[in-house]
Amino acid sequence: MNLQNLTGTAKALVADDKGLLAMDESNPTCNKRFAKLDIPQTMEARRSYREMIVTTPGLGECISGAILYDETIRQQKKDGTPFLKVLTDAGIIPGIKVDTGAKDLAAHPGEKITEGLDCLRDRLKEYAQMGARFAKWRAVIAIGGGIPSRSCIEANAHALARYATLCQEAGLVPIVEPEVLMDGGHTLERCGKITVEVLRTVFHQLNSQRVILEGMILKPNMVLPGLTCPLQEEVKEVAVGEQQYKVRLTDRKQDELEDVQEVADATVRCLLRAVPAAVPGIAFLSGGQSAELASARLNAMNVRFKLRLPWALAFSFARAIQQPALEIWQGKEAHVSAAQQALVHRARCNRAARRGGYNATMERI
């Protein structure tokens, strides 16, 4: 393991106010999203979609790294150029999702354990040889009546730590993603309490498995109220400092009136209580928030706390970057350019959010 390379890659992933693009949906997840838009659920459609993404002009100005799926890392553009080359030519570091999915945890109804440790050493070696420089593993923690259990949190944290050490042994930076899900009717406070417990357990396990904290990135959820509660408003104006944001809640049912500042405060408070200062960067998942809300919340965290925090606060969004582009693309060649504009727009909004410079006027362009 070359420590300098590891820490260099970890730093590069959060440098220059850029962030990660998670384009690592498994085939079933990608197909589900395609089905909603009547896009054929074929390998060729997935390849065309990923070609549209990786060839987006200007993407490398805002995106430091792209997380790929096993099928995608082996694919090429129509003209035969490997996606890995397209990305590296654009200055984007390629990464790879290496877990094999969240499965039911035995004897724990409603809870999941992420699998993929078997033969992981060999798979990591192959991906590193192909040119990947970082990897991702997602654990999911559901909130509900009597859950999460302590045993579910510990089992997932242990697997994350085993994965992370294997990554570092192979020279890959582990993205450690313990996602506390938004589904449910829980409050923001409950999400915060559980997120702190999960993160503390994860770091306990990372330390005991001898993970080098300087050579990893944490990918957590933001602290949010659950989704399944009455819709408050379709659109609301939110002030952060002197800036006004118009945030859309059309696709969200909120448990309680929450706003951008409240989420920013609760999220940073939680991270300060649980994440060691040696970690170079925290890159949030979007988790089903609307694209605008994800940008506004990341922006508020950076406006209010950036200068006081030991780690960079960045993004590693999938839906909050890709969804608008996917809805425009719809599998049609003629829509590629418009979809790419929507994609790079979201990437720019999120880069601006890292600087605390995102505002509602960016959405009117």
Contacts 24+ apart (CB under 8 A), 40-47: 40/331, 43/71, 45/331, 46/71, 46/72, 47/72, 47/75
The answer to whether 72 contacts ligand 13P (rule: CB under 6 A) is: no
Q: How far apart are CA 85 and CA 216, in angstroms?
A: 24
Q: How far apart are CA 55 and CA 52, in angstroms?
A: 6
**DSSP tag of 156:** H
Q: Residue 255 Cβ, how far from ligand 13P at the closest point, in Å?
A: 19
The answer to whether 245 contacts ligand 13P (rule: CB under 6 A) is: no
For 233-252, letters b (16+ CB in 10 Å) and e give eeeeebebeebebebbbeeb
Say whether the peptide bond before residue 82 is cis (omega within 30 degrees of 0).
no
Q: Residue 290 Cβ, how far from ligand 13P at the closest point, in Å?
A: 11
Using CB under 6 A as the binding rule, the residues of this chain from 140 to 169 that contact ligand 13P are none
Using CB under 6 A as the binding rule, the residues of this chain from 122 to 141 that contact ligand 13P are 138
Q: Residue 179 Cβ, how far from ligand 13P at the closest point, in Å?
A: 7
Nearer to ligand 13P, 266 or 283 (CB): 283
Q: Please, which residues bridge with residue 134 across strands?
A: 95, 173
Tell which one of 167, 285, 344, 353 touches ligand 13P (CB under 6 A). 285
Tell which one of 287, 296, 299, 328 touches ligand 13P (CB under 6 A). 287
The answer to whether 282 contacts ligand 13P (rule: CB under 6 A) is: no
Nearer to ligand 13P, 298 or 336 (CB): 298
Q: Residue 239 Cβ, how far from ligand 13P at the closest point, in Å?
A: 26
Stretch of 46-54, 180-188, 250-258, 284-292 contacting ligand 13P, by CB under 6 A: 284-292
Catalytic residue among 219, 262, 292, 363: 219
The answer to whether 317 contacts ligand 13P (rule: CB under 6 A) is: yes
Task: Give the per-residue contact string, 13-52, with ligand 13P (x = CB under 6 A; - = no).
Answer: ---------x------------------------------
Active site residue 177: yes
Active site residue 237: no
Stretch of 48-56, 79-87, 196-204, 313-321 contacting ligand 13P, by CB under 6 A: 313-321
179-to-56, 167, 209 alpha-carbon distances in Å:
28, 19, 20
Nearer to ligand 13P, 282 or 320 (CB): 320
**DSSP tag of 11:** H
Using CB under 6 A as the binding rule, the residues of this chain from 176 to 195 that contact ligand 13P are 177
Q: How far apart are CA 8 and CA 15, in angstroms?
A: 10
The answer to whether 53 contacts ligand 13P (rule: CB under 6 A) is: no
Given the structure tokens 């209010």, which residue do they identify?
Answer: 304
- The set of residues, in sequence order, having a beta carbon less than 8 Å from that of 161 and lying 6+ positions away, is 202, 205, 206, 208, 209, 211
Residue type for position 84:
L
Residue type for position 2:
N
Catalytic residue among 25, 51, 177, 292: 177
Q: How far apart are CA 141 and CA 130, in angstroms?
A: 32
Binding site for ligand 13P (CB under 6 A): 22, 138, 177, 285-287, 317-320
By annotation, the residues acting in catalysis are: 177, 219
